[in-house]
Structure 1
Amino acid sequence: MNLPNGVVARTSTIPHADHASSSVLVEHAEYAQELVAVIDHPSMKIRYLNPAGRQLLGFAATADLSSLDWTDCLPTRTVPTLLYEIIPALQHGGMWRGESSLWLREAAVERPVEMWVIGSSPDAEGRSALLFSATDHTERRNLTESLAYEQQLIRSLLDSVPDNIYFKDVNSRFIRVSKNMATWMGLSGPADIEGKTDFDFFATEHAQRAFDDEQRIILTRKALINVEEKEVWPDGHVTWVSTSKMPLLAKDGSIMGTFGISRDITARKEAELKLAVTQKELLEASRLAGMAEIASGVLHNIGNALNSVNTSVSLLAEQVGKSRLGNLAKATQMIEQNQANLTEFLANDTRGKQLPGYLIQLSGVLSAEREAFQKEIELLRRNLEHIKEIVAMQQNYASVSHITEDARPEELIDEALRISEASLSRHGISVKKIFDPVPLVNVSRHKVLQILVNLIRNAKHAMDDTGRSDKDMTITLRLSPEGRVQFIVTDNGVGIPKENLAKIYTFGFTTRKNGHGFGLHSSANTAKELGGSLHTASDGPGKGATFTLELPASKSAAR
């Protein structure tokens, strides 16, 4: 460190040291905490160096310093300034004070000091004494350099970080801000914001909210972390930041104000808004798709029932066409024609003699026809009732919980078979039932019937597509190891390729030429709603398939 020119001030001079003055100087200097040295001029020999000075310069207490010049105790670069600038200014008395350095010869290092130099007037031979005093400033210099380093770090942070950093006093006035924050606020530099408040830049509502938050922090000493703030600017445009605010503490722990860091999240919030709009649109699209799916399911289930209705109607039409009821009309007409001599006609006429027996025989035939008609009409009634229940169930789907009941699994299967009876009979399907003892199931009856009718109908189609004459369907009831009731429908139809097993419950997936892909998808969803599941197994094409509907047993133990 150079020895800069100090201010030279007149002071009491130190005469060329005599014995008395030297004794007084030594007496005081021996106990001083700072370096005290008396240097002869112009020889620059060390006349006296106190114990504190010896310690500071690294000399032993008994070391002989008579051969040393004072310049040996100074960094080389500082010597010219001392010899040619400072000392000449002190030739007639005066004082110099400034920052300097000492040279520690043994350690070969510099030590920063604050130095005082007092000159005295020369004697007749031109000799004088210089009084040097120095205080070690190593710690202070280290602190100064450390502070400067930390200030540089803070300055680099405030100048480079892409976030908004700010410090405020207890009145919420800006003390210091980052460079990015000044740019964010449309200012040329951080100095333009210092001393101002949020009210100078934002709309009143946001500024007041920020002020209240900061005053609360000052009062409670509780920080706000990662709070999302909506910033409304005077021109009406809106930005969003994620901000954390904390109390700013003085060295003694008292509150100086607040400081915080804010990150611009406007792009994220705008994206979230767009995402929310998109999600709303997707929900609406999903709702419409769901309605379409429900409608498809309704149509499919109604279609199954209508197939049975159509079969029953066809059978009724066929039976009506073959009915012997027309013969009864002919017999009645014959009686009317011979009403005047009916007794003679029945006793003597060949046709009349045969008429009573024929009427008896016709009565039996018509009675059989009546029973067949009643059977088909009952099937029609059941299927129409099933259609009615399907429609009612879908109408109440969104708002009413379906009524459940404890039902016997075997009765559910028998009812599903009755609904499908005409179709199974017409297609030559033989049905075998294997019922193990199983508990009741607590279900919505018509939902289970929808599933079973779908499974029976699919099995019928799978067997029809083989073209084989032996079409065998087996329906099994049993209890799973987990205590759940299993309804198992097995057919000897076309089978299912392995790659399709995972797809058959997908909405719209079908392998049938005229299929829609609604039935199994709807059935799987309904099984799930009932707390159960629907599974499929097949050994491959041509090897049939097995569908297993599994439902939880009722909590009621009664059968």
Structure 2
Amino acid sequence: MTRVIKLIVTFFLGAGVGFLFPMVFIYLDLNELSMVWTLQNIIWVVQSQNLITFSFYALPLVFAIVSVLFMLNLEKNKEIKAASILMAHMAHAAGMGEIAAEVIHNIGNVLTSVFASIEKSSMIISRSKYNTAKDAEKLLVEKKNLFPEIFSKDEKLNQLLDYYVLYTKMTVEEYESISEELEKLRKKIAIIRDILMTQKSYAYSKAFSEKTTAAKMIEASIRIFQDKLNTFKILLKTHLAEERTIDTQSSKVVNILSNLIKNAVEAMEESNDKFIEISTENMKEWVKISVRDSGPGISDDKKKKIFNYGYTTKNKGAGLGLHSCYNLAISLGGKFEVVDPKEGPGVVFNVYLPVK
């Protein structure tokens, strides 16, 4: 019930904001015409000008819809975060793959609903009559020169026409801006859905080994964070050796690599030259996957404790990520280490997977 009340309040607040725009223009109209600010005069202005009439009803609705969608998006982000935390705790008592798949499935259903709402809102915007107002403004400007004696004698009428043209332009720009933001939101949700599908495919992976390659697991891990890499303008470098088939649990390896990429992105927040370098090397008994970042690096003293449970170098970290990576690598019969790069800034994490 509380959620419904929040959405209703958000709807009316959005409508109120949208209502302010035509009220401002009505106020300016009344001042221009030297009319008193009364309910009767307001109704006269609304009824006498089609564009104001249209905006008087349309803008509150548009702002209300966008506000509700924004609130829904915030709530879904909270739900996703809460679901992720719940999944992490429940994984100790049940199979990680089954739980992850269930959570991802539920989140996917919610995103599908949000996606449908965005599509519907975009359709409403595309069918609106603001293009008619745009054409009317264009026609008025063209025909103004046919009646120079009218507009030259009445300065207020001339100002009113100029104001009408300006108002139409502003309204059209607002509609186009809303359409653009809806399209951006639609694309972002589409990216989230792609990420969930990638996660879901590995969440359903069984706890037995399968034949795969380092390149496939690296590609899956990069896909999860591709949008974040683009957002923070982080250059991704890959140097992959010749493909070599190995028997391993790919879901665990993707988990390790995803943690390393996530940590690398966070470590480079204050770096100027941001890059992540992922490389592979075929050894006699191992396939080595290295993940390097250009962050501030890790001191030798901290390297000794970096894999300990609860130890973190972050202000808001829980100290579980690298500890989990270490345990996952060991469970695969592999090794996990942290070293300094041969040259330049940053740190390198090496994952050794046994060749079976």
The structure whose Rg is larger is: 1
Could you tell me the TM-score, scaled by structure 2's length? 0.50
Q: Which has the higher strand share?
A: 1
Q: Which has the higher helix share?
A: 2
Which structure has more RCO (C-alpha within 8 Å, separation ≥ 6)? Answer: 2
Could you tell me the TM-score, scaled by structure 1's length? 0.33
